[in-house]
Structure formats: C-alpha cells, structure tokens
A and B are shown apart, each in its own frame.
Chain A
Amino acid sequence: MSEFNGILTVTVFLPALAALVILLARPLNLEDRVIRWFAILSTVAAFILSLVVFLAYDRVVGGVQFIDHLNWLSAETIKSSYLLGVDGLSAPLVLLTGILGLAAAFASRNIELRVSEYFVWLLLLESAVMGVFVSLDLLLFFVFFEFEVIPMFMLISVWGSGRPRYSAMKFVLFTLAGGAFMFVGIFAVYLTGAVDSLTMVPVPELGIVGIADQIAGVDLIAPASLIFAFFLVAFAVKLPVWPLHNWLPDAHTDAPTAVSVMLAGVLLKMAGYGMIRINIGFFQETNGFTVHDAAGILSVVAAVSVVYGAIVTIRQTDMKRLIAYSSVSHMGFVLLGLTAIGGNTAATQHGGINGAALQMFTHGTITGLAFLVVGMAYDRTHTRHIPHLGGLWRRMPVIGIFFFVAGFASLGLPALSGFVSEIMVFLNAFPVWPWAASISAFGVVLAAGYVLWMIQRTFFGSKPPEGGIPDDKFEELTDAEPLDLIPILALTIPIFVVGIWPKTIVDVFKIGIEGILR
C-alpha cells in the first residue's frame, strides 16, 4: 500500500528548492535585492503551507495525517522508507518552523556579504528543520537531524561575529558527538529481530506498526537502558541540558541575528521533540527498563539546568549571551515537564508532557523575538555590552516595546504565552517531584532578576557618561522601520494568542500526546 499526499513534501523541500534556484541563477549575477526578496517570498510560501497544515489537521480524526510514503528500496532490503506525516505533536512545531523561517528571512534583509550563499544556507536550514518534524521514519529523522549541522556551520563561521570559527566548530563537534550516540541507538533498534520497520509511529492506513509496539516486551539486542541513554545523550546535547550546554552560549553569541533566531526558535525544539517522540514514545513498555525509571534523575538534572542556567545568566554582560544562557534555564522547564512521566496518574503524565511541548512552542517565539530585537538594537548601536548601553528607549521606543514583551513573556507574565506553559509544567511536575519543581519554580524569580536588570540597564535610565555610544551617534540612532515590524509581529502575535487563548495550540498537542502515551 502506498499513499502520497504531497503537501508535506512540498512544505519541506520548498525552501531547499528555492535555494537550488538561487544557486543555479548565480551565473546570471542577479542583484542582491532580487535574491533577497526571492528567498523571503519562498519562506512566506513555506509559512503559508505550514499554517495550512496546522489548520487543516483534523482534530476530530487525530492520528497521523497528510502522509507521503515512498519506498527507497524494496521493503525487504531495508526496513526504512521515505515517510512523512504530521500528528498532533508535530503540527504546531511545523507551524513554529514556518513562523521562525519567515522571521529569520526578514531579519536577514540587511545582509550584504555573499548574499546568495547566505540565503542558500538559510533556506536549506529551514528545510532540514521542517524535515525533522515531519519525518515518521527513524532513519529519515536522523538524516534531517544531522543535515541541519552543515548550514549552521557555514552560517555561523562565515557571517558570524566574535569568534565565529571557534563557535561554529564547537557547535558541530557537540552536535555530531551527540548524533553518533543516536546513530548507535538507531542501529540497536534496527538490528533487533522483532523490528521490521523503522516507522516511529503506527500508521494504520499503511498497515504499519510503530516501533514502540514492535519493541514492547521484547528483548532488544542491547539493554533498553543503554539504548535509551544513547538517544537521550543526543537530545540532551541539543536541548541543551546541563552539563552539556556549553556550546549554546558561544554559538548564539557569535551567530548572525537570523541564525540565533532559528537556533533558539526551532533547532533546540528538535531535541525536545525527539525526547517525546523517541525517549518517551519508544520506552514505555520495553523489557527491563522504561522511561519511568529515568524520570527521577532527570528531574534533578532539570532543576539544576533551570537554576544553574538562571544564575549564570544573571552574570552575563553581553545581551545575546545573556539570552542564550536564559535558554538553558528555560529548556530546563521542558525537561522538568517531561519528567512528569514518572507520575502514577495518566492525567499528570499527560499534563506534564503537554506543558513541556507548549514550553517548546512558547520559548521558540519568545526567545526568537528576544534575539530579533536585540539584533536590531545591535545593528544600530554596534555594541551589545550592557554597561555601554542605557536610555535606548528614548531613541527606539518601538524596539523597546517588543523587547519588553519578549522580556516579560520570558519571566512568565500572565497573558503572555510563557506563563501558560510554565504553570502547566509546574502543576504537573510538582505532584511527582515536589522538590525539583519547587527549586525550578525559583527560576522564575531569578528570571525576573535578569530580565529586569537587562531592561533597566539598556532601555531605561540614561546613556552612560563613559564608554558608551558617542553623543552625536546616540542622537542619530533610529527606531524600527515598518518592514522590521513583519518579523516582530510574526513572533509577537503567537505570544499573545497563546497567552490569552492557549487552546489554539494546546488542543492540538493534546491529540498527539494522547497518541504517544500508552
């Protein structure tokens, strides 16, 4: 049986196709402006497609939809196939990728260096990330997951600032090391006799049984705990989880604005997605070890990530580095939510994982917005060193307002989306791991500390008398242009929508997570 819907294949490969067109058009020596707008329009198209996928996903029917299925080789030769599809877990993340891709492309309007190459890599990056979220085949998932490293390396090392080569290489080494673990994990699953298909979820339309069902109650070729750990390490590096987080501040700080937006916005979410899909999805009924056994230790790691990340954040003086460390803290909430799997009621498990998934979505938009507006401010002031800034509000109130929105969403202000996901995580993690949840909740107080401190030192008050921007330059600083509002609003609108009416996203995640929990 085969099915080919097409919409997901188009959504995934549209940016890559646009990249190919830009490459092929190079001999024509097109103007930079043309290339820019062509690339931007292709991300707009990808965004519209992702929105269609999200809205058209049938919430009553549920399950996997928009299936694209092709066999690479005959199914006997290799247990893997080209299989795309979305369920409730991936649909919102596809939308998130569409939004962030659009924002990143618009935020790259001012790139002057090697324009066509830049957009080729940026578009390939979007395709790779989109591919991760819609692949239902484990091997395909791995291919997309690893492919994303190449555009990231190029984007950081060529268009970055600070120590771009160092940071780009660090990113690559960490990710590939993690990827190697995952690869071994995939092999272990593949070589297990009972497994005859690497499809991650059951697809009844094609008569496919998911891996979780295939390995339930079966002896794997290696201890289940070991295979679990291999997958976990790969995702823990990417999320990132303390103490594997050190690549993140460097990569973020040195990456160009749009790349930071993509990195914070969607790349980290691939890890959370992998944890839910694989670590939780596969290992609930395995022999000898299940994910529930790991929840306790992971809750401790999560609490450490949250508080450690927040405390280090408070010490940062570079705005981008500060936001990068705050991501470590906020992704700790994702892990904390996932540890609710250790709870003994389905309601708690469900709520916690849902909170974690929502935290991924909200963090994507919030931190994406934060990097975006900090990047805009940096383009104008040419410094991100907080002691050199101050009083920016007077010159750029519009950027300031959205900086406020991102900051307050990040410290969990109600009516903005961060609050909803954090309260869901806390409410469900607390009954299971009261101490870890309580300690993590203190991260919210620390978050208020670093956010308000940064706002006070950069946008409030007045320009520092020494070391800052010269007076004449300061008076020439300009606010956001009308076109800048497009990426800003693309990220701000979801923050308000989810904050005020969380059902828009939660009700979709809910369907997916119901399918994964057993």
Chain B
Amino acid sequence: MASELTIWLIILLPAAAFVINGVVVRWIPEFAVGPYRLTGKKSDLAGWLTAAAIGVSFALSFLALIKVVSDGAQQFEMHTWIAVGGVDIGFGIMLDQLTAIMLIVVSGVSFLVQVYGIGYMHGDDGYTRYFAYMALFTASMLGLVTARSVIQLFVFWELVGISSYLLIGFWLNRPTAAAAAKKAFLMTRFGDFGFLLAILYLYSNNPSWLDIHEMYGAIAGGMMAISVASWIALGFLLGAIGKSAQFPLHSWLPDAMEGPTSVSALIHSATMVTAGVFLVARFFPLFEHSDIMFLVTLVGAITAVFAASMALVADDIKRVLAYSTVSQLGYMMFALGVGAYGAAVFHLFTHAFFKAGLFLAAGSVHHAGGTFNMRYLGGLKDHMKITYWAMVIASLSLAGIIPLSGFWSKDEILAHAFHAGTPIGTVALVLGLLAALMTAFYMFRAVIMTFHGEFRGGGDKEREDIEASGEEAPEGLEHVHLGESPRTMIVPIALLAFLAIFIGFFTNPVFDLGVVNKHAFSTFVVERNVDVFVDHDAQVHAGSEPEFDALIAILSTILAVSGIVLAWRLLTKPGIVPIWVERTTNPLQTLFKRKYFIDELYEDLIVSRGFYSYLAMLIDRLDISGFDNVNVQLYRWTDRAGRALAKVQDGQVQTYGIVSVVGLIVAIVIFVVVAQ
C-alpha cells in the first residue's frame, strides 16, 4: 500500500537521478561525455540510471493507483515551507483519481522514452546531460500532478518549464535550438503571468485557499463568489493556454521540435503540454463555478481546427505531429469546457500513448532516412516493418478508427458536446468533427509520404539540394542507412503501438466487459472523486456519461475514413501531393504554411518592432537623454557656477583693485542718484 513516503519517492527518485547524473556522473572523467570532456570514453551509465529510477517510480505509481482504487481520494498532511506574517506556504501530497492516472501516464511513458533514449542518444556528446535533464523533467512533472498547494503546483509548473527549455535547447550550439528554447520559455511565461496573478488574487481573497483541498471545500460550501471564481479561473486558463500551446499562445510548440525526438515524444506530446489540460482539470470545480467555461470550450475548439489546418501542409514529419498534438490538446480543452471531465482525462490518457509512439516512430524514421523532411523520404515500409506498422496503428488510433483507443476517447468527447445541447456545445461539435476529418487526412498523408512510393534520397539528397541552392545545410541532417533501428528503440515503439490498440476500450468500454464495467475509466475519475465534485449537481452533471451514440460514432468514422481515402487517392501514386492540388489550393497552402502569419505578427511586429525598437528604445533613450541628462546638466551648471564664483577670489591684486574702484564709482553714482 502506498504511504506518503511512497508518493514522495515517486518524485524524489527521478530527482535523485538528476542530481547524480548532473553532479556526479557528468564530472567523473571516465563518464564525462558532455562538452567538458576530459576523456572521450562513452558510457551508458547515465541512461540506465535515469531509466531505472523512473522504472521504480512507475512501479510505485501502480501502488498509488491501487490505493486510490481501494480507498478513494486522499490528502496528506501539509509541511510548512515558509511561515511568516500572513504567508503560510506548505507542501503536501494530494492523491486523487486524477493524480493517480497522471502518475501512471507520466512515469509510464517516461520510462519507455528513457529506454528508447539509451539507444537513440547513444554517442551524442551530451548523453549524460540529456539523461540528467530528462530525470529533472520527470521529477518536476510528477511533482506537479501530486501538488496539494497552489504554490507547490506553480513551483513544479515552472520547473517543468525550465526542463523543457533545457531540452529544447539541448543542442545548444545550434542557433535555431537556442531561439526555439527561448521562444518556448517566454511564451509559456507570458501565460504564467496570468497564473501568478490568479494565485495572488486567490490569496488576497483567502490565504487558506492556497490549499487546493480547502479551496474545493470553499467552492462546495458556497463561500466563493462567482465573480471571484471567474477572475481566478481566467488567470489559470491563461497559464493553461501557454503551457498546452492553445491558440493564441500555440506557436512555440512546433518550434520546440528542435530538441531530440525522444524529448518531443515525452515532453511536447505526451506529458508536459498536457499540464495545461491538467491544470484546468485540477481546478475543474472552480471552472464549473465560474462564468468562463464557454471560453475554455471556444479556445479548445478553435485550436483543434486551427492547428489541424497547419498540419495539412507541413513537410516535416515532426511538425505534423506537433500540430497534431496542439489540435488534440484542443479537443481535451473543449471537452473540459463542455463539462466532459472524464472524457477529457480519458483522451489525455489514450493520446499520451499513441502520440508518444508516433514521435518515437518518427525518430526511428530519422535514424534510417537521415531527415524529417517527408519530401526526401518515402518507400521506407519495406526497410523498417515494425516502425511502419507501429506508425500505421498509432495513426489509425489518432484518426479515430474503431476499435483503436483514440476512437473511444474522441467519440466520448464528441458525444458530450452533442449532448451538451448548448449553442457553444454545437459549435464545438462541428469544429471537432471537422478536425477529425483533417486529422485522418494529415496523418495518412504523413504515413504515405514517409513509407510508401519511392525513396526520395533522405538526408544526403536534402543536404545536396540545399547546398546546391547556395545555402548552408542545417544541422540534424544525417546520412542514410536504410534498415530497422536498434532494439532499445523498437521495443518501446512496439509496446506503445500495442497499447494504442486496446487500452481505450479495455479501460472504458461502452458496455460491461466481464471484469471491466461500462465506462469504468470515466466513472473512476469522475464519480468516485468526491473531493473534486463536492457539489452534488456538478458531480451528476460531469458524471452522467452519455450513452454510446451511434449517430456521432458513425458520423465521425465516416469523416475519418474519408480523410484516409482522400489521402490515399491523392498521394499514393506520386508519393507526394500532386502538382494540380498544390496549384488549386495555393493561397490556402500559403496561409497554412506560413502559420497564418502568427510568428510574423508576434515576433516581428509586436516584440521586435513594437516593443523592442519602439517602446523599449524610447524608454532607453529617455533614460539617457532625459533622466541622466538632468544629472549631467546639474553637474555642469554647478561646475560653471563654481568656476565663475572662483574668479571673485583669484588672488590678483589688480583685479581686486579694479573691482573696488569700479564698485566705489558705482556706489557713488547710486548715492548721488538716490540722494537727489
């Protein structure tokens, strides 16, 4: 059974792996393979250390899950961190159904990705550094999902952000990586500003609400005004939008693909970016109590379609997956917005596995083809059968084809939107269905471009072409060696694909399935979570699983299948998008490819021109020629006055004589004038 220590160990084991890898292993000459290289000898020690620590965390997470299944949600005691004046910040563990699920997802996916990384990162100069950062990330994410205090949550939230920064900028001598890392951190921090203000507002209303458990109680007891809840929820939503890359703070995520592919698999698809969704789920009673649920729905639904549209035309397979991630996070968000708490968490759960699988498969493709650019790939299916089939299965799951896991979770979300019966629910449903069509198309476009048709030369050819056009080839283009990847990479991919097949239905079937009850997963996260849904109405509302709706299921399946067929018909012969399609849809393509010009708007127009070259320049100039100039002038006038006055006593007897004679004359004149 899981005691409090067990939960702390889940967090502390990866943290210890970070410290040991970062402080000890990296500096032992024999193992040091980072930039501070003392010898060139490589060792896999760091990789196995991190993998083992996270493996144990994974095992302990099961204990936590068992505990929650048997005893229900529980809170552990708060330990004081700072207590001074009015501030009393404590750290404690909150172990509820949501936490238990998140622990499994985070540690489970992380463990597989670490094993994969041992092979994938082999020979990289920063091998030890990589595993130190990965361990830091995993520890932070596990800390985030177990936090009982809002401040504690914020602390780990920021630590997750820094891990992500370090991992995106992992290849730190690549300027693009450094820029992407900065962009990711800054944009999420902009969202965190909202989060921080919400915390301050929450605290100023009632300091004890920093304890999430107490906050739930206050909401259930009607102690929080709706307007207060709305403002706080708005701040949290802004934080969630930044972290989960929702519109309009989405543009950092595609750039974040500059990091190693295994990083993208873990952080920028399966776990970290779900932190925003987790945040809304964690404060779900607050959101339900507020007036801004419609905003959550709207942000999510718009993002789902918006991101999918950019995935339609992306040529880089990782970017396709990145946009797909943003789009799927949009699904989870709008699910929460329409009150489908269980469905949102369920989709987060299934998505984590198949999306991690897709990314790892993309890394495997790069291993063989030397590039992520699908225009230079193709025909790989005969060279790497396992990767191919894993990719197809995961894509089918993502597209929502029955009976794979993605179908069940996506269907539940759409059914909820359909049954919500509100105008905003209908909008979400329509946008969700549209996104389903697009998802199927872009995923199979990617599969066909990568694996079918003729091989188009891979990294070698791309390098040739780029250099022929007189530009410098970007780093990250490798030589082609067609063939399946090493076993440490293939096993995790196969496992994740395997999970993508059945994990959805077997955890959340639509009818009783022997040992598993109907809607077991959703029921588990919703109905038994008495803490989140202290409010009985909310519990009934969120817990009422709509019956499996044949209409929605058939509709979404038709859309998904037509997306796949469309991709097949268009692409299968030429292997890439035919010229006539490119030509007829040219303006749209440009719009999608240029990402709706959002980067230009934010980076060039707002930050670079508006802020840096205009506002900041003005203030900087004001500082020098305004404020500082006052000082300089003050000094200069004092100096001048001093010099002028100094002449009065320059010691020249002649001057004194002249002055006294002149003075005498002036005095006489005045006397004479005055006397008359």
Interface residues of A (CB under 8 A from B): 170, 173-174, 243, 245-247, 308, 311-312, 314-315, 345-352, 354-355, 391, 393-394, 397-398, 408, 413-415, 419-420, 423-424, 426-428, 430-431, 434, 437-438, 441-442, 444-445, 448-449, 452-453, 455-456, 459-462, 479, 502-503, 506-507, 509-510
> Would you give the shortest CB distance from A471 to chain B, in whole angstroms?
15
Interface residues on B, range: 35 or more
> Would you give the shortest CB distance from B558 to chain A, in whole angstroms?
46
**Bound CA–CA A262/B88 (angstroms):** 33
Which residues of chain A have C-beta atoms less than 8 A from B85's C-beta? 346-352, 354, 428
A445 touches B162 (CB 8 A): no
Known contacts A444-B189, A462-B173; can you find 19 more A-B pairs with CB under 8 A? A246-B623, A246-B627, A312-B616, A314-B616, A315-B620, A345-B86, A347-B86, A350-B86, A354-B85, A393-B173, A398-B36, A413-B159, A420-B82, A424-B87, A442-B193, A452-B182, A453-B182, A503-B82, A509-B84
Chain B 317-358: CB-based contact to A (< 8 A → 1; otherwise 0): 000000000000000000000000000000000000000000
B627 touches A502 (CB 8 A): no
A-B pairs with beta carbons under 8 Å apart, 10 shown: A315-B620, A351-B86, A398-B36, A427-B87, A442-B193, A444-B193, A448-B185, A452-B165, A456-B179, A461-B173
> B residues 139-188 with Cβ under 8 Å of A?
151, 154-156, 158-159, 162, 165, 169, 172-175, 177-179, 181-182, 185-186
B190 touches A445 (CB 8 A): yes
Residue of B nearest to A517 (CB): B85
A413 touches B87 (CB 8 A): no
User: Contacts A312-B619, A430-B204, A444-B196 given: A449-B186 contact, CB under 8 Å?
Assistant: yes
**Bound CA–CA A315/B619 (angstroms):** 9
Residue from A424, A426, A461 in contact with B82 in the complex, judged by beta carbons closer than 8 Å:
A424
Q: Is B596 an interface residue (CB 8 A)?
A: no
**Bound CA–CA A502/B82 (angstroms):** 7
**Bound CA–CA A479/B38 (angstroms):** 13
**Bound CA–CA A170/B634 (angstroms):** 11
**Bound CA–CA A312/B197 (angstroms):** 24
**Bound CA–CA A431/B206 (angstroms):** 10
**Bound CA–CA A453/B197 (angstroms):** 24
Q: Is B201 an interface residue (CB 8 A)?
A: yes
> Would you give the shortest CB distance from A62 to chain B, in whole angstroms?
14
A414 touches B154 (CB 8 A): yes
User: Contacts A173-B635, A428-B85, A430-B200 given: A460-B36 contact, CB under 8 Å?
Assistant: no
Q: Is B617 an interface residue (CB 8 A)?
A: yes
Which residues of chain B have C-beta atoms less than 8 A from A314's C-beta? 612, 616
Q: Is B34 an interface residue (CB 8 A)?
A: yes
Q: Is B48 an interface residue (CB 8 A)?
A: no
B34 touches A243 (CB 8 A): no
B35 touches A426 (CB 8 A): no
Residue of A nearest to B620 (CB): A315
> Would you give the shortest CB distance from A151 to chain B, in whole angstroms?
22
A413 touches B86 (CB 8 A): no
**Bound CA–CA A405/B162 (angstroms):** 11
B87 touches A428 (CB 8 A): yes
Which residues of chain B have C-beta atoms less than 8 A from A438's C-beta? 197, 200
> Would you give the shortest CB distance from A283 to chain B, in whole angstroms?
20
Q: Is B584 an interface residue (CB 8 A)?
A: no
A246 touches B628 (CB 8 A): yes
Residue of B nearest to A398 (CB): B36
Query: When A and B form their complex, what is the total count of cross-chain residue pairs whose Cβ atoms lie within 8 Å?
Result: 150
User: Contacts A415-B155, A460-B173 given: A502-B81 contact, CB under 8 Å?
Assistant: yes
Chain B 434-477: CB-based contact to A (< 8 A → 1; otherwise 0): 00000000000000000000000000000000000000000000
**Bound CA–CA A363/B181 (angstroms):** 25
B182 touches A461 (CB 8 A): no
**Bound CA–CA A355/B162 (angstroms):** 24
Q: Is B502 an interface residue (CB 8 A)?
A: no
> Would you give the shortest CB distance from A142 to chain B, in whole angstroms?
24
User: Contacts A246-B627, A503-B82 given: A413-B169 contact, CB under 8 Å?
Assistant: no
> Would you give the shortest CB distance from A403 to chain B, in whole angstroms?
13
Q: Is B8 an interface residue (CB 8 A)?
A: no
Residue from B162, B165, B193 in contact with A441 in the complex, judged by beta carbons closer than 8 Å:
B193
**Bound CA–CA A154/B89 (angstroms):** 46
Q: Is B1 an interface residue (CB 8 A)?
A: no
Residue from B173, B177, B193, B199 in contact with A391 in the complex, judged by beta carbons closer than 8 Å:
B173
B635 touches A461 (CB 8 A): no
Residue of B nearest to A309 (CB): B623
Q: Is B605 an interface residue (CB 8 A)?
A: no
> Would you give the shortest CB distance from B607 to chain A, in whole angstroms?
9
> Would you give the shortest CB distance from A222 to chain B, in whole angstroms?
25
Chain B 261-293: CB-based contact to A (< 8 A → 1; otherwise 0): 000000000000000000000000000000000
> Would you give the shortest CB distance from B99 to chain A, in whole angstroms?
20
Residue of A nearest to B179 (CB): A456
Residue of A nearest to B129 (CB): A397
**Bound CA–CA A246/B151 (angstroms):** 36
Which residues of chain B have C-beta atoms less than 8 A from A419's C-beta? 155, 158
> Would you give the shortest CB distance from B167 to chain A, in whole angstroms?
14
> B residues 33-74 with Cβ under 8 Å of A?
34-36
Q: Is B631 an interface residue (CB 8 A)?
A: yes
**Bound CA–CA A427/B36 (angstroms):** 41
Residue from A428, A441, A460 in contact with B172 in the complex, judged by beta carbons closer than 8 Å:
A460
**Bound CA–CA A397/B196 (angstroms):** 33
B84 touches A510 (CB 8 A): yes
B172 touches A415 (CB 8 A): no
**Bound CA–CA A314/B614 (angstroms):** 12
Which residues of chain B have C-beta atoms less than 8 A from A442's C-beta? 193
B178 touches A430 (CB 8 A): no
Which among A174, A349, A394, A456 has the greatest number of chain B C-beta atoms within 10 A? A456
Which residues of chain A have C-beta atoms less than 8 A from B193's C-beta? 441-442, 444-445
B616 touches A427 (CB 8 A): no
Which residues of chain A have C-beta atoms less than 8 A from B620's C-beta? 311-312, 315
Which residues of chain A have C-beta atoms less than 8 A from B186's C-beta? 445, 448-449, 452
